C-alpha cells in the first residue's frame, strides 16, 4: 500500500466523523426545531419570550463558541464533565452543540413556513370536520415542507461545512487530519479535502433539486 493510498484512507476515515456529526445533527435538530418553533409561537407569553431570546442568543453567537462552552463549561464550573474522557465524548458534546444551534436556525425557518400557510387552509379543514392532527398532517404539512425546502437546503449545505468546526474540541475531522500532513510539509491532502466537501455538497444540491422538482406538481 503506497503512501497516497494510506493518506486517502485516513482522510476518508476522518471524513466519516464529519458525516456522523452531519447525520446526528440532522436527526435530532430537524424534530427539535419544531419543538423550538412551537415554543416561540406559544400563546403562553413567557415561554414564547424565553424561547425567542434563547434562539436570538444562539443565532447571534458563533457556533464555535457554543461548541467550546458546551464542552468545557461543565468540567470547569462543576469539576465534573458529562462528556467523559476520550474521543467519543467529544463527538457527543459537539453534536449537542450542533443540534441546539441548528434546531434554533431550523425553528425560525419552520416558523416562517408555518406562518406562510394561509389561514384559509386551516379553516377549510375545520369546516370539513377534520381534526387538528388531520389538518396538520393531511392539509398543511406538505405545503409547509414545500415552502421551507429551499431555506432548509441552504442551511443543511451549511451544516456539512460547519462540521469542520468539530476540530475546535479536538475531534479529528478531515481538515484537522489533512493539516497533520501539512505540518509535515505535505500540502496536497489539504487540497483533497475540498473534494470530499464538494462531492457531499454537490450530492445535497442534487438531492434538494430532485425533491423540489418532486413537489412541483402543486403550487401553494
Partner 1 sequence: MPVLEVQSIKKSFGAVEVLKNIGFSLEKGQSLAVIGSSGSGKTTLLRCLNFLERPDGGRILVNGKTVFDAAAVKSQSEAQIRQNRLHFGLVFQNFNLFPQYTALQNVTLAQELLARSQPDYQRSKKAILEEIRTRAQGLLASVGLSNRMDNYPHQLSGGQQQRVAIARALALQPDILCFDEPTSALDPELTGEVLGVIRSLAERDTTMVIVTHEMAFARDVSDCIIFMDDGRIVEQGTPDQVINHPQMERTKAFLSRF
Partner 2 sequence: MAFSLAACGSAPVEADSVPSSQPEASQPVSSEEPGSEPAESDLAYVKGNGKMIIGYTTYEPMNYTDASGEFTGFDTELAKAVCEKLGVEPEFVEINWETKEVELNAKSIDCIWNGLTINDERRATMELTDPYVLNAQVVVMKSGAEYDGTASLVGKTVCAEAGSAGETTIAGDEGLAQADYISKDVQTACLMEVAAGTCDAAVLDLTLANAMIGEGTDYAGLAIMERLAVEDYGVAFRKGSDICAAVNGVFDELTADGTLGALAEKYNLDLAQ
Is residue 45 at the binding interface for partner 2, with CB under 8 A as the rule? Answer: no
**Gap between the Cα atoms of 163 and 166, Å rounded:** 6
Grid coordinates representing 15 are: 471524513
Least CB distance from residue 12 to a copy of itself, whole Å? 16
Nearer to a copy of itself, 53 or 131 (CB): 53
DSSP state of 83: T
Is residue 106 at the binding interface for partner 2, with CB under 8 A as the rule? Answer: no
Residue pointed to by grid coordinates 500500500: 1
Q: Which does 130 bind (CB under 5 to 8 A by kind): partner 1, partner 2, a copy of itself, none?
A: partner 1
The residues, ordered by sequence, that sit 6+ positions from 2 with a Cβ below 8 Å of its Cβ are none
Count of CB atoms situated within 10 Å of the CB of 66: 20
Footprint on residues 143-162 left by a copy of itself (CB under 8 A): 157, 161-162
Is residue 34 at the binding interface for partner 2, with CB under 8 A as the rule? Answer: no
Nearer to a copy of itself, 144 or 169 (CB): 169
Applying CB under 8 A, the span of 28-36, 83-91, 124-132, 206-214 interacting with partner 1 comes to 124-132
Classify burial at 219, counting beta carbons within 10 Å of its beta carbon; exposed 0-12, middle 13-18, buried 19 or more.
exposed
Site string for partner 1, 188-217 (x = CB under 8 A): -----------------------------x
Least CB distance from residue 9 to partner 2, whole Å? 6
Grid coordinates representing 189 are: 491532502
Quick one: which of 60, 120, 129, 183 contacts partner 2 (CB under 8 A)? 183
Grid coordinates representing 179 are: 493539516
Say how far residue 38 (Cα) sits from the centre of its chain. Answer: 18
Q: What is the dihedral of CA 58, 194, 190, 71, to 10 degrees?
A: 20
Using CB under 8 A, list all residues that contact partner 2: 1, 3, 6, 9-10, 71-72, 74-76, 79-81, 83-87, 89-90, 169-170, 172, 179-180, 182-186
Amino acid at each position: 500500500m503506497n503512501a497516497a493510498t494510506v493518506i486517502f484512507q485516513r482522510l476518508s476515515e476522518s471524513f466519516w466523523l464529519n458525516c456522523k456529526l452531519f447525520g446526528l445533527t440532522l436527526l435530532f435538530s430537524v424534530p427539535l426545531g419544531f419543538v423550538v418553533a412551537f415554543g416561540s409561537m406559544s400563546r403562553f407569553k413567557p415561554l414564547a419570550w424565553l424561547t425567542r431570546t434563547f434562539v436570538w442568543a444562539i443565532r447571534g453567537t458563533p457556533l464555535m463558541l457554543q461548541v467550546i462552552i458546551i464542552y468545557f463549561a461543565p468540567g470547569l464550573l462543576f469539576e465534573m464533565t458529562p462528556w467523559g474522557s476520550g474521543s467519543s465524548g467529544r463527538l457527543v458534546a459537539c453534536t449537542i452543540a450542533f443540534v441546539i444551534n441548528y434546531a434554533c436556525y431550523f425553528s425560525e425557518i419552520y416558523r416562517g413556513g408555518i406562518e406562510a400557510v394561509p389561514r384559509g387552509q386551516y379553516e377549510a379543514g375545520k369546516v370539513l370536520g377534520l381534526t387538528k392532527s388531520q389538518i396538520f398532517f393531511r392539509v398543511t404539512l406538505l405545503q409547509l415542507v414545500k415552502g421551507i425546502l429551499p431555506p432548509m437546503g441552504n442551511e443543511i449545505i451549511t451544516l456539512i461545512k460547519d462540521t469542520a468546526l468539530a476540530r475546535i474540541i479536538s475531534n479529528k475531522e478531515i481538515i484537522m487530519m489533512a493539516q497533520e500532513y501539512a505540518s509535515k510539509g505535505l500540502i496536497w491532502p489539504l487540497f483533497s479535502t475540498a473534494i470530499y466537501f464538494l462531492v457531499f455538497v454537490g450530492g445535497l444540491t442534487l438531492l434538494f433539486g430532485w425533491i423540489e422538482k418532486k413537489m412541483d406538481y402543486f403550487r401553494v
